[in-house]
Amino acid sequence: MRIPVIAGNWKMHKTNAEARALCSDIRDGARNATHCRIVLAPPYTALGAAAEVIRGTNLILAAQNVHWEPKGAFTGEISIPMLEDAGCCMVILGHSERRQCFGETDQTVNRRLRAVMKSSLDPIVCIGETLGQREAGNYQEVISQQLAGSLDGLTGRELLRIILAYEPVWAIGTGRTASPQVAQEVHLGIRGWLSEKFGAEAARQVRILYGGSIKPENIPDLMRQPDIDGGLVGGACLEAESFLRIIHYDSRSTGGK
Ligand code: PGA
């Protein structure tokens, strides 16, 4: 069964004091949320503060990126052992902002992923087409290429530790959500690709999140789609009130698909 995941990507927001306040509000409001897994991804500097507040709760700590080398002369980078030490259990890889602003490619995502697979961290691997690629009509091909490059060399067993996040670039931070039907079509295509490559059973078990302008108002319809297993939330995760409404997207929901 695929237990839903609601993940908040804080991006470059929140000081330590702000992180503590947000984490404690989410912790209190999400205490009874057993229908989904809740992931918080603060910036590196706030990981320690967040870890203190959520220790022993149902909230899972994630980082927004990681380097593939365990240590060395890599100014400005953060390693897997550092994230483990800070209390992280997960890490986001290949977010479109990393791809667009910081030269991330499928190959570098793959290097990070392979290193993460040897660690205790579980990855959320992001993929998604740009507006130009969507309008050109070849977005399924673009996504297949991103999957092939990012997941290169992965075994079916390893695949089960991965969460994928489909985030159409044109929907991130723009207020323009992909309609539930448009997102479902891509999610189904991703599952089909995974099935061919890793087998039907592995593909059936992998969670695929949607991301891009998720709000309390649109999450219920997205979650009703058979192949959408949760959300990667940006802007709406920065206030406890809206993130909690997203977490509690459907109080009648008892869990996975
Ligand atoms: P958004 O960001 O919810 O602000 O569109 C989503 C993301 O980038 O993960």
CA distance 93 to 65: 6
Tell which residue, 163, 177, 160, 165, has the closest CA to residue 214.
Answer: 177
The dihedral sign for the CA sequence 155, 58, 50, 165: positive
Q: Residue 101 sits in which domain range?
A: 5-247
| Ranges 8-12, 111-115, 246-250: which has the least confidence | 246-250
pLDDT-derived band at 255, boundaries 50, 70, 90: low
Residue 235: inside a domain, yes or no?
Answer: yes
Nearest CA to ligand 1 atom 7: 234
pLDDT tens profile 81-90: 999 999 999 9
CA distance 131 to 146: 16
**Catalytic site positions:** 95, 167
pLDDT score for 177? 83
Residue 254: inside a domain, yes or no?
Answer: no
Residue 40: inside a domain, yes or no?
Answer: yes
CA distance 61 to 47: 8
Domain containing 64 — which CATH number?
3.20.20.70
Beta bridge partners of 6: 38, 231
pLDDT score for 256? 77
Q: What angle do CA 42, 75, 121 make, to 5 degrees?
A: 45
For a mutational test of ligand 1's pocket, the pick from 167, 209, 237, 245, i.e. the residue with the most ligand atoms closer than 8 A to its C-beta, is 167
For residues 105-133, average pLDDT: 97
For residues 46-59, average pLDDT: 98
Residue 255: inside a domain, yes or no?
Answer: no
Residue 65: inside a domain, yes or no?
Answer: yes
Residue 109: inside a domain, yes or no?
Answer: yes
For residues 90-117, average pLDDT: 97
The chain-wide mean pLDDT, for the chain, equals 96
pLDDT score for 176? 85
Ligand 1 proximity of 225 Cβ (cutoff 6 Å):
no
Q: Residue 114 has which token pair?
A: 């392979």
CA distances from 221 to 60, 139, 229, 240 (A): 25, 23, 12, 21
- Please tell me the distance between residue 126's alpha carbon and the centre of ligand 1 in angstroms: 11
CB-based contacts of 68, cutoff 8 Å, min separation 6: 111, 112, 114, 115
pLDDT score for 15? 98
Cα within 13 Å of Cα(19), Cβ side: 25
Residue 252: inside a domain, yes or no?
Answer: no
In the chain, how many domains are there? Answer: 1
CA distance 43 to 127: 20
Residue 253: inside a domain, yes or no?
Answer: no
Nearest CA to ligand 1 atom 2: 234
The answer to whether 11 and 97 have CB atoms below 8 angstroms apart is yes
Ligand 1 proximity of 237 Cβ (cutoff 6 Å):
no
pLDDT score for 252? 60
CA distance 139 to 214: 21
